[in-house]
Amino acid sequence: MTITIAVANQKGGCAKTTTTVNLAAALAELKYKVLLIDLDPQANASQWLGAATDTPGVFDLFTTKVAVASLLVDTNTEGLSLLAGSRSLASIEKALAGELAVETRLKRRLAALESLAFDYVLIDTAPTLGLMTLNALCAAQQVLIPVTTHVMTLSGVAQLMQTFDDVKDVLNPQLSLLGLLPCRVDQRTRHSKDIIDALIEKFGEQVLVARIRENIRLAEAPSFGKSILQYQPNSSVAEDFRALAREVISHQSR
Ligand SMILES: Nc1ncnc2c1ncn2[C@@H]1O[C@H](COP(=O)(O)OP(=O)(O)OP(=O)(O)O)[C@@H](O)[C@H]1O
Ligand SMILES: [Mg+2]
């Protein structure tokens, strides 16, 4: 069975793309078959994984009837395929105006991938709660919410939880919360710890055990077209993503 996970948080720059790319790579390293779907017009994940800007992908999936499998591209991480995002996604709402049930189009289109037997599909989303993010929440069974521990962002998380509840009520009753992931954790500062404590106080066990530490290598890796597991396989933060992958896997047997 394929587990589909949407990585979402409408706050910009809270490590969604970093989490999606490196968790995908960590799952692939464990020999799972993984697909990353980039629903963000910024297409940062696609660029990180080396896709050319004109690579066909999500826009074509939404606006044409072309076979989904033909839109997948390989990445330089073995076992990790990509369905690329592109700048054209910025105008997708206009392109789909007047069409029916567009919130669930991704979900319906992905059904055709069953025969490819992906173990995990990870969806990177834009920092908005627009149509593409709604599609991610409808296609997913689980939501992973990265939270940067640089700045207090609890109000944004509360807003996202509200959207999560609304989607669950109306469009996708099987949706569950995989968890909140503290990112950019700086163990030298009191501030990081205070934010994690506040998160745990408010959201309890919904906060994952995994922590992604602050590491400048993560900011460098995209320009080399490599996940952190390839770029700095022995770094502490590569270990953080491996630990996250193990926690995500163990979550599935709960
Ligand atoms: N653990 C980390 N250590 C150091 N830098 C990090 C870490 N995680 C993310 N960053 C940096 O923070 C910035 C934002 O990260 P990222 O692009 O993953 O966020 P995002 O939520 O996808 O942003 P957007 O909302 O624009 O899509 C990037 O420059 C990234 O390199
Ligand atoms: Mg991003």
Q: d(Cα 187, Cα 216) in Å, to the nearest integer? A: 14
Q: pTM of whole model > 0.85?
A: yes
Residue 219 CA to ligand 1 center (angstroms) comes to: 7
Q: What pLDDT, in 10s, does the model give residues 126-173?
A: 999 899 999 999 999 999 999 998 776 777 888 889 989 999 999 999
- Tell me the per-residue pLDDT of 183-242, one tens digit each, with 9 for 90 and over: 999 988 888 888 899 999 999 999 999 999 999 999 999 999 999 999 999 999 999 999
How does residue 182 score in pLDDT terms, banded at 50, 70 and 90? Answer: very high
Which stretches does DSSP call E strand in the chain? 3-7, 34-38, 73-74, 80-83, 120-124, 142-148, 176-183
| Ligand approaching nearest to the C-alpha of 22 | 1
Q: Say what percent of the chain tops pLDDT 70.
A: 99
Kindly report the number of other CB atoms within 10 A of residue 152's CB atom.
Answer: 14
User: Quick one: which H or E segment has residue 81?
Assistant: strand 80-83
| Whole-number Å distance between alpha carbons of 229 and 186 | 20
Q: Which of 11, 16, 18 to mutate to test the pocket of ligand 1 (most atoms within 8 A of CB)?
A: 18
Is 122 within 8 Å of 170 (Cβ atoms)?
no
Range of the domain at 31: 3-251
CB 202 within 8 A of CB 229: no
Pairing outcome for strands 120-124 and 3-7: parallel
Question: Which element (helix H / strand E) includes 194?
Answer: helix 190-203
- Is ligand 1 within 6 A of the CB of residue 127? yes
Please, what's the largest Cα pairwise distance for the chain?
52
Q: What is the pLDDT of residue 192?
A: 86
How many domains does the chain divide into?
A: 1
Q: What angle do CA 233, 238, 243 make, to 5 degrees?
A: 130
| CATH number of the domain enclosing 141 | 3.40.50.300
Q: Which ligand is nearest to the CA of 18?
A: 1
